[in-house]
Chain A
Amino acid sequence: MTVKSVKSAKSVGAKIWWYVRELTGETAYERYVAHVRKDHPDAPVQSRRAFERERTDRQEADPRQGFRCC
């Protein structure tokens, strides 16, 4: 019984953590790597540092991405 409830608490926690990471965009890099590996297997994969830099630079170039409303 307790083992079961610990397990279910763990899986709820894992789901919340998954949601938080997805929502904040922390998983963007993982998705990018998967995308490159799958669709362009010969292309080089950027390092995380370079990828994250490019991501904020893009927002710089067009601030309408990620705009917040009233």
Chain B
Amino acid sequence: MSTAVTGSRPDRTRSIVIWTVVALVGAAGWTMLALSRGEEVSAAWMVAAALGSYAIGYRFYSKFIAYKVLKVDKTRATPAERLDNGIDYQPTDRRVLFGHHFAAISGAGPLVGPVLAAQMGYLPGTIWIIAGVIFAGAVQDMVVLFFSTRRNGRSLGQMAREEIGPVGGAAALLAVFAIMIILLAVLALVVVNALAESPWGTFSIGMTVPIALFMGFYLRVIRPGRIAEVSLIGVVLLLLALIAGRWVAKSSWAEAFTLSKESLVVWLVAYAFIASVLPVWMLLAPRDYLSTFMKLGTIGLLFIGVVVAAPTLKMDAVTDFATQGTGPVFAGSLFPFVFITIACGALSGFHSLISSGTTPKMVEKETQVRMIGYGSMLLESSVAIMAMIAACVLDPGLYFGMNSAPAVLGETAQDWVNTIQGWGFSLTEADMAAYAKSVEEASLWGRTGGAPTFAIGVADIFASVTGDGLKAFWYHFAIMFEALFILTALDAGTRVGRFMLQDTLGNVYKPLKRVSWWPGLIVCSAIVCGLWGYFLWVGVRDPLGGINQLFPLFGISNQLLGAVALTVCTTLLIKSGRLKWAWVTGIPLIWVAVTTLTASWQKVFSGDPRVGFFAQGDKAQAAIDSGQLEGKALQDAETIVTNTTVDGVLSALFAVLVVVVIADAARVCIKAIRHPATVVSHEEPYTESKYVAPAQLFATKEEKAELAAAGLGSGGGRTDGPREEVAP
């Protein structure tokens, strides 16, 4: 009470002191990362740089965007309040919604990209993850969330159609579908590479299916709706399956669970098809509860592990591959390829699909878009930093031995060792065998895809806290954690792809639109599984290593979707008369468009067969034409010709789609600037809010007073009757 008058100056001083300290911590982290050469740096400095930067970005930049640019209005009712139907529109406690939103946006992406980008050293990737999230990724998530909230939770595609036009809208829809297919193929490839020839991993992941079926049955029949208790039971069963996996791997059953990559592809595609046709309650819903629990739990453990163990980074800050563009994990130079390899964690177009659609229908207060949109993305970015740390605490020799495609390393084990030593890293065959033995895997050579590398890094960090005896357990724990939610994503993604397909084909043949029409359901599910299954099969059979080929395609498509989302945001800012603030999303848009279109250009037109798809195809074609190839070599060359053509055409298609969206949006924007009177707003009209709820995680003094006056707890709620003015 008295603090309101006399406390303002000490409060201000205290705030200045606190933020100066935060800035200094961040700056110290950056200095240590950037300046230390030749000696190993503690990962704690990376954490300091990240957390210091996030805190400042959140405190200052996101506040500026929320109040100056978007002008969030706490007196304006959100769709959750106006349309509350107890189903999809419902005001949700900000802390709960934060968890929901974070669980929805975070998946395997931020764990894989940074691991691959680590081939260029820890510094380029870390700078992009942190700067990218503050100025682009978190901005995109928050601005999309805001505009969708003002439009009753319209999806990105609907907003593109309404605000830009039918051409832009259709291009955006097609882009989303194509991207979904590539995404599913890449995620499945990560699982295949992690589980191939690993009976322990395959058994424990396989067990998740009966566990989920049991949970589904429990929720449907025995105790409907008791999700928390069944999830706890599920997690315990999951850990038991993990422990049993070790025993199985040592028993006579091991052979049955030792699968080649090819058979895993067949299993995965069959699984995803069946799962996507089964009712949601049976497999998808319970799996989703399990993976959410595992996801949040493991990320929490990882934070604790990194802080307690404070491991040192063994990778160089910047490796020679960054400048030469000859990296064995993915080809191409630092610009533009670091910026498309690390998508999730810095800027992920996919998030715009979550930020429009589901979350905006549950936001209690407009002021909360800052905490939920911007804040969740910062948390996801910190997960990417953890993945970068996990990859960089490994010996670089081990890292490159695991992540280089066999075709790059050579024919025999001795060649592999020689290649890696030739790059200047120390590694012997015995070292590699010892690493494999420590995590109880048959071999670690060429285990591309990021998941095994991440898992070894995690096992290293955890084992330094719990002792080496548990290292193999932690390795398989991390593999299971990643594979678990990738399998959930395959099921959910196939369903979404099918839904889009049904919706589109339904315009041609009516019954397809009915989602419960069985023949349509099965045919569309089969088409979607067939499409991503094709890319997966190709990736597995690819002599150059599928990740090498597919991951750039995935990164390009994801970032191009980000470009579409940022285009919609920029158009909306301009159309709503905020031209002077259009740079807030305009600059990230230009950046992502330039990097991604450059990457697409290089992937299509580069004459270097390591980078350009068509150049690679031409090289293989020339080899076929020379008539000197036979047997497997000839088959390989033919596969390369087909694959590179498909990949090249897709890269070009993505780029063209995005150019169409941007050009169409530019037309709309210019018209809006020239003739402001013609702009039609699709915003829902203002309705006064009867809700009181804090904007941030912790309520401010004023908000607490407001809540107390309304007789509400810390979560806020509806004030019945006319709003009472709260005395200042």
Contact = CB atoms under 8 A, between A and B. Distances in A.
Contact of A58 (B87, B284, B292, B492): B87
A68 B288 contact: yes
Given A19-B95, A60-B515, A63-B495, A69 B227 contact: no
Contacts of A61: 515-516
A67 B96 contact: no
B462 interface: no
Contacts of A48: 224-225
Question: B interface, by DSSP: helix, strand, loop or mixed?
Answer: helix
B104 A53 contact: no
A2 interface: no
A18 to B, nearest CB: 9
Majority SS of interface residues in chain A? helix
B187 A64 contact: no
Interface string A23-35: 1111011011001
Contact of B489 (A23, A57, A70): A70
Interface stretch (B345-353, B426-434, B666-674): B345-353
A70 B108 contact: yes
Nearest to A34: B86
Nearest to A56: B281
A38 B90 CA distance: 14
Interface residues of B, number: 59
B489 A68 contact: yes
Contacts of A60: 279-280, 515-516
Given A35-B84, A69-B350, A56 B499 contact: no
A49 interface: yes
A69 B104 contact: yes
A56 B289 CA distance: 13
Interface string B508-527: 00000001100000000000
B411 to A, nearest CB: 35
Given A22-B93, A24-B231, A56-B279, A64 B224 contact: no
Interface string B347-372: 01011011001100000000000000
Nearest to A25: B227
Given A53-B220, A56-B285, A35 B348 contact: no
B183 interface: yes
Contact of A52 (B225, B357, B485): B225
Interface in B532-549: none
A41 interface: no
A5 interface: no
A43 B419 CA distance: 74
Contacts of B388: none
A62 to B, nearest CB: 7
A51 B155 CA distance: 26
Contact of A26 (B90, B227, B489): B227
Contacts of B493: 67-68
A57 B344 CA distance: 31
A64 B88 contact: no
B105 A23 contact: no
B334 to A, nearest CB: 23
Interface string A1-41: 00000000000000001011111111011011001100100
B289 A67 contact: no
Contacts of B99: 19, 23
A36 B280 contact: no
A59 B280 contact: yes
Given A22-B93, A26-B228, A67 B220 contact: no
Interface string B214-247: 0000011000111110010000000000000000
Among A53, A59, A68: residue with most chain B CB under 10 A: A68
A64 B496 contact: yes
Interface size class of A (residues with CB under 8 A): 35 or more
Given A28-B225, A70-B108, A70-B558, A64 B515 contact: no
A19 B496 CA distance: 28
A66 interface: yes
A29 B354 CA distance: 24
B488 interface: yes
B215 to A, nearest CB: 12
Contacts of B516: 60-61
A32 B351 CA distance: 28
Contacts of A62: 499, 515
B492 A23 contact: no
Among A21, A28, A69, the most chain B Cβ lie within 10 Å of the Cβ of A69
A2 B231 CA distance: 32
Given A31-B90, A56-B281, A63-B499, A69 B353 contact: yes
Given A19-B95, A70-B558, A65 B225 contact: no
Contacts of A35: 84-86, 90
B505 to A, nearest CB: 16
B96 A23 contact: yes
Interface string B161-191: 0000000000000000000000100010000
Contacts of A59: 280, 284-285
Query: Which of A26, A36, A67 neighbours the largest number of chain B CB atoms within 10 Å of its CB?
Result: A67
Given A67-B492, A68-B488, A26 B225 contact: yes
B107 interface: yes
Contact of A66 (B93, B106, B108, B288): B288
A58 to B, nearest CB: 7
Contacts of B292: 23-24
Given A19-B95, A35-B86, A61-B516, A69 B348 contact: yes
Contact of B280 (A17, A21, A26, A56): A56
A16 B351 CA distance: 27
A68 B488 CA distance: 8
Contacts of B488: 68
A67 B710 CA distance: 36
Contacts of B351: 69
A63 B90 CA distance: 18
A30 B93 CA distance: 15
Contacts of A32: 86-87
B424 to A, nearest CB: 33
Contacts of B93: 22
A29 B226 CA distance: 10
B691 to A, nearest CB: 15
Contacts of B499: 62-64
A21 B228 contact: yes
Nearest to A62: B499
A59 B88 CA distance: 10
Closest 8 CB pairs of A and B: A70-B109, A63-B495, A35-B86, A24-B227, A56-B281, A52-B224, A22-B96, A26-B227
26 contacts: A21-B228, A22-B96, A24-B292, A26-B228, A31-B90, A32-B86, A51-B225, A52-B220, A56-B279, A57-B280, A58-B88, A59-B285, A60-B516, A61-B515, A62-B499, A63-B498, A64-B358, A64-B499, A67-B492, A67-B496, A68-B485, A69-B350, A69-B354, A70-B107, A70-B109, A70-B344
Given A19-B96, A67-B353, 6 more contacts: A59-B284, A63-B495, A68-B291, A68-B493, A69-B107, A70-B183
